[in-house]
A and B are shown apart, each in its own frame.
Chain A
Amino acid sequence: MRVRLSAILAAAALGGCAPAPSPAPAGPPARIVSLAPSITEVVYALGAGEQLVGVCAQCDYPPAVASVPRVGGYLVPSVEVTLARRPDLVIAAPSPGNREAVRAIERAGVRVLVVHDRTLADLWASIRAVAGALGTPAAGERLVADVTARLGEVHARVADLPPRRVLVIVGHRPLVAVGRGTLQDELLTMAGGVNVAADAGQVWPTLTLELVVARAPEVIVDAAMGSEAGARELFAGLTTVPAVQNGRVVMLADETLLRAGPRVPEAAAALARAIHPEAFAG
C-alpha cells in the first residue's frame, strides 16, 4: 500500500504523464466554458475564474461561480447554449451523455480540450492540460505541487497508525460501495484505511448486506445522500460488525469526495478524521 501511495505521489511530482491533446494555441483564451464541476474548480484554482463565461448546471464551487451562466447539465450539455456564449475554449470531461454534444461543439470550430476526472492521476493531468491551454504552465505545476503537498500532510498524520478496514458506501438501497480504481479508493488509502470492497471487481459494486458482516469493517463511511437514521436502520442488528459495535458508522455526505478537483486534500482529511479520529484529537 505504501508503495502504491508513493507511486501516486511520485507520478504527480514528476509529471509529464499527461497525454493532453493540445490543439495549436492561438493565444490564451479569454472566454472559457467548463462542462464539469471538477474542471470549473481547477480553472478557478489556476486563477482564471474571471475568464469563465459558461459552466454546467452542477458547477457549484467556488461560490463566485454562482453568477456564471449555465450551459446545460454535466451529463447533457446544450450545444447551442454553449456556442451562444461565444467561447474560444471549451473544456469537457467525458460523461455518458456528452460525447456527441462535445463533438458538435468541436465541429462548430470551437477549440475543445477533453480532460479526465476519475482518479488522482487524471487530476494532475487535467491541471497541467488546463494550465497549458491557459498559457500558464507554471501555475499548473504550482497547483499540482500545492495539492500534492496538502495530500501528503493529511497522509503524514495517519501514516504511522495501523490502517483500519473501511467500507465506503455511496448508496443505501441498493447498497453501492466504493470499489477499486476510483478516486475515493485512492483517498481512502491516503487517509489510513484499507478498502474492504476493493476486491469486488467493480468500480461501484452493489453489495449484499451479508458481505458487510463477512468483511467486518472497523469503520463504515456513509457518503450516500441519506440520513443518519437511514444508516442506523440499514446496519441495525449487524452486531458482529466492529463499526456497528463501536458506533463508527460515519456520515460523510461531502461533494468534495465525489470530485477529482483541487479540493481532494479536504476530502482526504475528512476521510482521515472519520477513520482515525484519535489522530485529530486536540
Chain B
Amino acid sequence: MTVRPPHLTAGRLVTATSVLALLLAATLVATSLVGPVHVSLARALAGPESTDAVILFRTRLPRVLLGAVVGGSLAAAGAALQALLGNPLACPHLLGISGGAAVAGVLALVAGADAVSPVVPLAAFAGALGAIAIVALGARAGGRTTPHAVLLVGVVFNALAAAALMLVNALASYTQAQGVLFWIMGSLSTQSYGLIAGVMLYSLVGLGWLGFHAQDLNLLAAGEEGAQQLGVEVERTRRAVFLAASLLVGAAVSVSGMIGFVGLIVPHLLRLVLGPDQRLLLPASFLGGAIFLAWADTLARTLLGPVELPVGVVTALTGGPFFLYLLRRHLRRALA
C-alpha cells in the first residue's frame, strides 16, 4: 500500500463524490424496482392504493433506504476506525460496539419486547453506548488512550459479548432463539419510515462530525509526533473520532444486527481507488457502503425467489472474493 495517490484537490473531491452520489441515486431507483415480486412503476404511480404501490412504497423502498443508510454508516465508521487505529483489519464489529448492541437487543427480546417494537432498537442503541463507554474507559490509562489498547479492549469485550449471546441462545426458547440469529447474522427487514429517517439524520450528523476531524486524522495517520507538532490535539481527536464512529455503528447495528464485511471492505476498496485522504475517503465510503449494501440486499431478497437469504452471507460471499482480487492486483502493481 505504498503507491502514492494523486494529491487531493477540490476538483477531485467534488468529482469523486458527485460520481458516487449519482451512482447511489441510480442504485436506489434500480434496486427499488427489483424484487421477488414483479412490480410496475406505472401502475404504482397511477394508483396509490394498488398492490404495486403498497409493495413498492411500503415494503420495498423503506428497506432499500434502510440498507443504504446502514451500509453507509458502517463503511464510513470503518474508514475512520482503520485510520484512527492504524490497523487495516479494524472494522466496525471489531471493537465490541456491535456486540454490546446485540446483547442488549437480545436481552430486550428475551425480556418480552416484541421484535417489531422500537424498544428493541432503542435497547440495542443503549447497549452500543454502554459498550463504547466500557471500551473507552477500559483502554484509558494515565489520561491517554492508545490505539493499541482500544483494539485489545475492544477485541476482549467483543468476545465477552459473543459469549453472552451464546448463553442467551442456549437458555432461550426455540422461538426466541430465532431472534438471536437476527443479531448474529444481520437482516434488513422493512422498518418504518420514521425510524429510518431518525437513523439517517443521526448518521449524517455522525458523518459530519467525522468529516470535521478528517484532516487531523490524515495527520495522525502520518505519525503521532508529527501531528502533535502540526498542532493536532492527538488525545482529543482520537476520542472524538472514536465516539463519532462508534455512534454511527451503534445506530446501524440497532436496526440491522451485525452485517459483516461492509465496514471492512468498502473503505479498503475505495482507498485503493481514491487514495487514503480522509476528506475524500469518508464521504466516499459512506456513499460506496450505501451502494454496496443496497445491491447486496437486493441479491439477498431475490436470489432464492420468495425465500430470503441472510444479507450478511451475501456481503461476505460477494465482497470477499472481489476484495481479494483487487488486493492481488494492487500488490502486483506495487511490486512491478
Residue numbers of A with Cβ under 8 A of B are 58, 73, 76, 170-176, 197, 199-202, 205-214, 216, 224-227, 229-231, 233-234, 236-241, 258
Annotate B57-71 by CB proximity to A: 1 below 8 A, 0 otherwise.
011100100000000
Contact with A along B31-69 (1 / 0, CB 8 A): 000011101000000000111001100111001000000
CA gap between A133 and B117 in the complex, in Å: 48
Contact with A along B284-304 (1 / 0, CB 8 A): 000000000000000001001
Which residues of B pack against A, CB within 8 Å?
35-37, 39, 49-51, 54-55, 58-60, 63, 114-117, 170, 173-176, 178-179, 182, 187, 189-190, 192, 301, 304-308
A171 and B117 contact, Cβ closer than 8 Å, known pairs A200-B306, A211-B306, A239-B49: no
Question: Which of A173, A214, A236, A238 is within 8 Å of B115, CB to CB?
Answer: A173
Q: Determine the chain A residues whose CB is within 8 A of the CB of B49 once the complex forms.
A: 239-240
> When A173-B189, A174-B182, A197-B306 are in contact, do A230 and B116 touch as well, CB less than 8 Å?
yes
Contacts of B178 in A (CB 8 A): 170-171, 174, 176
- Contact (Cβ within 8 A) B306 A205: yes
Q: Select from chain A the residue with minimum beta-carbon distance to B301.
A: A208
Which residue of A213, A233, A236 is within 8 Å of B55 (Cβ)? A213
Q: Measured between C-beta atoms, what is the minimum distance from B40 to chain A in Å?
A: 13
20 pairs, CB–CB < 8 Å, chain A vs chain B: A58-B173, A170-B175, A171-B179, A172-B114, A200-B305, A205-B308, A207-B306, A207-B307, A208-B306, A209-B189, A211-B306, A213-B51, A214-B55, A224-B115, A236-B192, A237-B54, A237-B58, A239-B54, A240-B49, A258-B174
In the bound complex, residues from chain B placing their C-beta under 8 Å from that of A227 are 114, 117
Report the Cα distance A212→B305, complex, angstroms: 13
With a cutoff of 8 Å between Cβ atoms, the chain B residues found around residue A76 in the complex are 170
Chain B residues closer than 8 Å to A205, beta-carbon distance: 306-308
Instruction: Please tell me if the beta carbons of B37 and A211 are within 8 angstroms of each other in the complex.
Output: yes
Of B51, B192, B305, the residue contacting A216 (CB under 8 A) is B51
Whether B179 lies near A202 (C-beta < 8 A) is no
Query: Shortest distance in angstroms between B20's beta carbon and chain A's nearest beta carbon?
Result: 27
Q: 12 extra interchain contacts, Cβ-Cβ under 8 A, other than A197-B306, A230-B114, A230-B117?
A: A199-B306, A201-B307, A208-B35, A210-B35, A210-B36, A214-B36, A224-B115, A229-B117, A233-B192, A237-B58, A239-B54, A240-B49
Q: Which of B37, B55, B175, B189 contacts A175 (CB under 8 A)?
A: B189
Contact in complex: A226, B36 (CB < 8 Å): no
Min Cβ gap B61→A in Å is: 10
Check if B175 sits within 8 Å of A171, measured CB to CB: yes
Contact A233 B116 (CB under 8 A): yes
Smallest CB–CB gap between A49 and chain B, Å? 23
**Please, how many angstroms separate the alpha-carbon atoms of A232 and B35 in the complex?**
24
B115 / chain A contacts, CB cutoff of 8 Å: 171-173, 224, 226, 230
Residue of B nearest to A224 (CB): B175
Selected from A58, A73, A197, A240, the residue in CB contact (under 8 A) with B51 is A240
B308 touches A174 (CB 8 A): yes
Given A208-B306, A213-B59, the answer on whether A234 and B116 have CB atoms closer than 8 Å is yes
Q: Give the distance to chain B from A183, nearest Cβ to Cβ, in Å.
A: 14
Distance (whole angstroms) from the CB of B257 to the closest CB of chain A: 9
Chain A residue numbers with a CB within 8 Å of B60 are: 210
B178, chain A: closest CB distance, angstroms: 5
Question: Does A210 contact B37, Cβ atoms closer than 8 Å?
Answer: yes
- A211 near B117: Cβ-Cβ < 8 Å: no
- In Å, the complex CA distance between A233 and B190 comes to 11
CA distance A232 to B173 in the complex (A): 23
B307 near A200 with CB under 8 A, answer: yes
Give Cα A206–Cα B173 distance, bound, in whole angstroms.
19
Instruction: Tell whether A213 pairs with B37 under 8 Å between CB atoms, given A171-B178, A237-B58, A240-B51.
Output: yes
Decide yes or no: A206 and B51 within 8 Å by CB, A172-B115, A173-B115, A238-B59 being known contacts: no
In the complex, are the beta carbons of B117 and A206 less than 8 A apart?
A: no
Query: In this complex, what residue of A is CB-closest to B49?
Result: A239
Give the CA-CA distance A214 to B305 in the complex, in Å. Answer: 13
A contact residues around B308 at 8 Å (CB): 174, 205-208
How far is B117's CA from A205's CA once the two chains are assembled, in angstroms?
A: 22
Rounded to whole angstroms, the CA-CA distance of A174 and B176 in the bound complex is 12
> Are A210's CB and B50's CB within 8 A?
no
Knowing A171-B115, A239-B49, the reply to whether A209 touches B190 (Cβ < 8 A) is yes
Query: Which residues of the partner chain A approach B36 to less than 8 Å between Cβ atoms?
Result: 208, 210-211, 214
* A200–B114 alpha-carbon span in the complex (Å): 25
Complex Cα distance, B35 from A208, in Å, reads 9
Chain B positions within 8 Å of A258 at CB level: 174-175
A197 to B307 Cα, complex, angstroms: 9
B313 CB to closest chain A CB (Å) equals 12
Within the complex, what minimum Cβ distance (angstroms) separates B306 from chain A? 5
A252: min CB distance to chain B, Å: 13
Q: Tell me which of A73, A171, A197, A201 has the highest count of chain B C-beta atoms within 10 A of its own C-beta.
A: A171
Is A213 touching B117 in the complex (CB atoms < 8 A)?
no
Chain B residues contacting A212 (CB-CB under 8 Å) are 59
Residues of B within 8 A of A58 (CB): 173
Least CB distance from A225 to B in Å reads 5
- Measured between beta carbons, the chain A residues less than 8 angstroms from B173 are 58, 225
| Given A171-B178, A209-B190, residue A233 in contact with residue B307 (CB < 8 A) | no
Complex interface: chain A residues within 8 A of B59 (CB)? 208-210, 212-213, 238
Among candidates B50, B176, B301, residue contacting A240 with C-beta atoms closer than 8 Å: B50
